[in-house]
Amino acid sequence: MDNTKAIGDIYKSALKFLVPLSSEDTYRTIVEEVRLLVETEAVAIFLENNGSLEAVYTFPKMEKPKNPRRRGFTKRASMTGEPLVISKKEVVKVHKDAEKFDFNYCVFVPLHYNKRSIGTVNLFCKNRKNFFTRQRLEILKLFGSMASLAIIKTKLYIQTKEALDSRDLFISIVAHEIRTPLTVVNLYSQLIEKRMESGHPPDPEWSRQIKKGADRITGLVNEFLDVEQIKAGKLPVNLRECRLRTVVNQAIRDFRLGNSKREIIFEDEIGNNSDLIKGDYEKLLQVMNNLLENAAKFSSDGSEIRVKLKANDSRLIVRIKNKGRGIPKKEIASIFDKYYKGNKTNKDGMGLGLFLSKEIIEKHNGAINIFSKFNKGTTAEICLPCLGEKDGREN
């Protein structure tokens, strides 16, 4: 192999990674370029993921290879940053399925950059061992560094694009959601101003509508702040002993204040069991309020909402059920995603309520699930660990 030509080929390869590429395109280009340096029958790219190496791309396409052993050849090349040339005989000793492939040696090329290991490119070659001189291995090592930069650049590009897309989506959602309550506040403020100028008292309902609009804006801002804290891993949860029955009762009272025409039925099935939990009262109230609002939002005005509180061994369960049209089965898996609002809904909200609720409940070592049947209704279920004190009934 002519060193000058090989280095020139690596330089040309590097130019191909200057344009934005998807992960798949990056891996494919790495394979195409390394095969210009070494004739290979097959190539596998392994990348670090939470402390272990996983196959992310193979050529030709094949069943995903098993994760490498912790002390295997792939791991050794990745950790040392030095290429390894291992005979087929040695490879087959630990990977029996490698017997079916036509190769003489496997070259494990480390993906290293600035003393950082991100994986390996494994080359299955027909060449004899004397083909892999020190110079050739140094060139492959140089290629590995260039490929590492390409993979890192692609990951950063994808992360940046996702962050910008998320930001743009959030701005558009906030602009849309805040516009309506702002319009309400502005409209009723003008009506009050005109009525006062004419010497007549304003309608009390107008001030209630202004407060409702202001509360809506406050809620949107608080949701945004909670999401930012979650992204930073700093969502504050003040855990202390509290009564789950008290939380549920307060949420029902809050709901009735703003939804006086909705029928809500509370079924307390705890009996003499304890309702004592270790939780953040305000955060749990936020979750209950959100679930009740969702139950009302996605059901008709005349239909009832049922809230059930029960004990099950060492856990307490709250179920909130409506009789709405239900959630399509294919959307259930996505309803806890940030900004998710469903494909056919024009309801207000930023699509953050269930996302925040899930984060809060999981901070309490609990679980939240949604069960729904088309035209039958939807049930939100929360499970929380109970502290186990007897007779947790409110005084």
pLDDT at 233: 67
pLDDT at 124: 92
Looking up tokens 């280009």 gives 29
223 vs 185, more confident:
185
Q: Are 112 and 144 within 8 A, CB to CB?
A: yes
Angle between helices 204-231 and 134-197 (to 10 degrees): 170
Q: Are 277 and 316 within 8 A, CB to CB?
A: yes
Pick the CATH number of 240-385 from 3.30.565.10, 3.40.50.2300, 3.20.20.150, 3.20.20.60: 3.30.565.10
Q: Are 27 and 56 within 8 A, CB to CB?
A: yes
pLDDT at 130: 82
Q: What CATH architecture is 164-230?
A: Orthogonal Bundle (1.10)
What is the rounded distance in angstroms from the CA atom of residue 69 to the CA atom of residue 47? 13
Residue 370 confidence (pLDDT) above 60: yes
Pairing type for strands 116-125 and 42-49 reads antiparallel
List where CATH 3.30.565.10 sits in the chain. Answer: 240-385
List where CATH 3.30.450.40 sits in the chain. Answer: 3-159
Mean pLDDT for the stretch of residues 373-381: 89
Query: pLDDT tens, 144-154?
Result: 999 999 999 99
pLDDT at 394: 43
CATH class of 3-159: alpha beta
3-class SS letters over 287-326 = HHHHHHHHHHHCCCCCCCEEEEEEEECCEEEEEEECCCCC
Query: pLDDT tens, 230-287?
Result: 666 667 788 999 999 999 999 998 888 777 788 999 999 988 888 999 999 988 998 9
Query: pLDDT tens, 114-126?
Result: 778 899 999 999 8
Q: Are 322 and 303 within 8 A, CB to CB?
A: yes
Q: Are 239 and 360 within 8 A, CB to CB?
A: no
pLDDT at 45: 94
